[in-house]
Structure 1
Amino acid sequence: MNGEGDPGPVQREGDTGRIFFGSHGELPKSDLRVAAYTEIDAANAAIGVAMAAAPLSRDAATMLLSVQNDLLDLVTDLGVSTYGEPVEVTIVPAYVERLDRAVEHFSEQAADLGGMVLPGGTLGAALLYQARAAVRRAELAVWRAVEAYPDAVNREVGRYLNRLSTLLFVVARVVNVELGDVDWVPGSTEQAVAPVTEPEPGTAG
């Protein structure tokens, strides 16, 4: 309805493709810092799904819950500009060091971390592998933002995500300990396919 006096569609925040992003002010949603925020948010949701479905030990579930909280710290950190006066950033090396300790702890529970495995096995492990892929996308988005705004994006955010992808891989291997991982066999599909031979001349095809 476009009659006289009709105010038209109601505009909501973000309807114009722009967003207020912390101390950076108003930015287009296509800005690399906003893209990094979005990818971290998606990674956090993927971890939540894995936690809901995977039969995790209490220490693994507690650790992943703390990771989810950390990821909200990360997106908050992305909204803080480091231009001008020094500011207190959220993500510091201690965050990464905590993940390193978790990797060491859960590595002791995994039967074997060697070799290449397919991202599957049990449902819980498959979802953790999927969450790891989401984290790796988020890390890539953060490093793109760092390259574009080297003085405005905290590099510790990228380092944290790099360690987190390792941790999720290790925990997925732990979840698969009982039933085992599915090993990658290079070229196995090609080897399983019988070669197609052409019929000899004069024979029925």
Structure 2
Amino acid sequence: MRLSKITTRTGDDGTTGLADGTRVAKDCARITVIGSVDELNSHLGVLLAEPLPGDVQPELLRIQNDLFDLGAVLASPGAPSFDAAKLARLDAAIAHYNAGLPPLKEFILPGGTRAAALCHVARSVTRRAERDLLHMMHGETVPQEGLRYLNRLSDLLFVLSRTLNRSADQDETLWKRS
């Protein structure tokens, strides 16, 4: 599907079209999830504008494509399920990046380098997208793989934020109980 015309004026009434042509309110649960996934993808785009070590950039680009695929599944009621192989790839990436990190002994605060901080922002937006998808699932049928993917993605982004700080020799900021 290619867009030749961006301004259609069909959404001026507060509705938007799904891939099957169905019109829905722009504040319905499905559109909320699609918007959260889109926002997450945008945050990853900002993170990708930063200098990143080695294989992190291609990993994030794959994730951006996965998120676009997830958005397409969400925009197509009754679409085939989200590819479970993407979940296996996230699991492998978590294991790969986590292998080079020291074990956590304390909670860490978001921050460190700019790239790591942006990764934490993307992680928290991922958690919101996950909550939005779960909320949608209470009223509509959508593939479970999308929920699992977002859950695992937030784990990967946490591990990547630690990896980005470590690659820049930046200490993690530990949470200090008040």
Q: In the alignment, which of 134, 137, 154 is matched to residue 143 of structure 2?
A: 154
TM-superposed CA distance for 1:121, in Å, is: 1.1
Please tell me whether residue 143 in structure 1 is matched to residue 140 in structure 2.
no
Please tell me whether residue 125 in structure 1 is matched to residue 116 in structure 2.
yes
- Where in structure 2 are the equivalents of 1:23-38 lying within 5 Å? 23=20, 25-38=22-35
TM-superposed CA distance for 1:95, in Å, is: 1.2
Q: In the alignment, which of 47, 55, 58 is matched to residue 54 of structure 2?
A: 58
Q: Which digits, 9 at most, give the CA deviation of each residue in 1:128-153, with x for residues without a partner?
A: 0011111111111111111111x3x1
- Identity score, percent: 35
Q: Distance in 1 between matches of 2:75 and 2:8?
A: 24
Q: Distance in 1 between matches of 2:37 and 2:75?
A: 13
Q: Which digits, 9 at most, give the CA deviation of each residue in 1:7-34, with x for residues without a partner?
A: xxx9812110001112271111111001
What is aligned with 1:12? 9
The one-letter code sitting in structure 1 at the alignment partner of 2:149 is: Y
Q: Check whether the contact 2:29–2:132 (CA below 8 A) recurs between aligned residues.
A: yes
What is aligned with 1:191? none
Q: Check whether the contact 1:121–1:179 (CA below 8 A) recurs between aligned residues.
A: yes
What is aligned with 2:80? 88
What SS does the aligned partner of 1:148 have?
A: coil
Please tell me whether residue 76 in structure 1 is matched to residue 72 in structure 2.
yes
Aligned length: 170
Q: Which runs of 5+ in 2 are unaligned?
A: 1-6
The one-letter code sitting in structure 2 at the alignment partner of 1:37 is: I
What SS does the aligned partner of 1:176 have?
A: helix
What is aligned with 1:46? 43
After TM superposition, the structure 1 stretch with the greater mean CA deviation from structure 2, 96-105 or 22-31, is 22-31
Q: Distance in 1 between matches of 2:33 and 2:46?
A: 20
Q: Which digits, 9 at most, give the CA deviation of each residue in 1:28-65, with x for residues without a partner?
A: 11110011000000000011111212x32221111000
What is aligned with 1:105? 96
TM-score (norm 1): 0.78
Quickly say closer, same or farther: Cα 1:24–1:111, change in 2 above 3 A: farther
Q: Which runs of 5+ in 1 are unaligned?
A: 1-9, 188-205
What SS does the aligned partner of 1:27 have?
A: strand
The one-letter code sitting in structure 2 at the alignment partner of 1:123 is: R
